[in-house]
Amino acid sequence: MSATTAAALAHTRRVCSLYKKSLRNLESWYDRRHIFRYQATLMRARFDQHKNEKDPAKVAQLVADGEKELFEKQHYQPKKFPMSPGGVAFEREVIPPDWVLDYWHPLEKAQFPDYFARREKRKEEYVAWWEKQYGKSSASDASHH
């Protein structure tokens, strides 16, 4: 990818991000759907006014001005999705790591014989891959840890 393509892609992402953040900000300010849609349409018109702008300096200035305006007009208590960072349910459901299954009692493991047989096979494959990739650990390495 050439530098100009990468720069254009970065600019496109920056504009799209600004647009989405602006929409979310409007959503926080206007709780009535019809009022929000009206404000969103006005905002989209402001974006569309400059969509064919060719001068890179002016385009950069427009994006910077838009980001500044968004910062100045941000909501004091923005809406957050429940499972998103800052949301009321963020990280509420803790997903246990895989190693927890190693500490299951044999009677618990016996209830799922196919799963644990496949899991042991995958663990052996992973150890073989690791040793092929990085080499076997020596006994002196193990005693240091």
C-alpha to C-alpha distance for 118 and 114, rounded to whole angstroms: 6
**What would the pLDDT profile of 92-106 be if each residue is shown by its tens digit?**
988 899 999 999 999
| pTM: predicted TM-score of the whole model, two decimal places | 0.62
Each domain of the chain, given as residue ranges in start order, spans 6-73, 98-134
**What would the pLDDT profile of 103-141 be if each residue is shown by its tens digit?**
999 999 999 999 999 999 999 999 999 999 998 877 655
Cβ neighbors of 47 (< 8 A, separation 6 or more) are 15, 19
